[in-house]
Amino acid sequence: MPLYMDVHTLEGGVPLDDVAKAHVADLDTQDAYDVHYLRYWVDETHGKIFCLVDAPDANAANTVHREAHGLVADEIYAVREGV
């Protein structure tokens, strides 16, 4: 399946604990869409969240976010793993 990196930007910063809770909600929802959220990174100060996801397409990845917690990505990029 293709890999995607999605990017969220939240004005005013974002606490790591909130992102961790949203990630758990993604994990609870992902199987219904054949999506697998693999990792995430957070820049708390600048309100940036980056999610690496294995998904059939970008829309499926965003559907999981929408259904799990409502915070869809601002940008989604198809990526390939390098060495």
Q: Is the pLDDT of residue 47 over 90?
A: yes
Domains and CATH numbers, the chain: 3-79 (3.30.70.3090)
At 71, phi and psi to the nearest 5?
-95, 85
Cα 45 to the center of its chain, rounded Å: 18
DSSP structure class, residue 74: S
DSSP structure class, residue 40: E
Averaged pLDDT of the chain: 95
Name the token pair of 46.
């600048």
Residues 6+ apart with CB under 8 A from 56: 1, 2, 33, 34, 35
Q: Is the pLDDT of residue 32 over 80?
A: yes
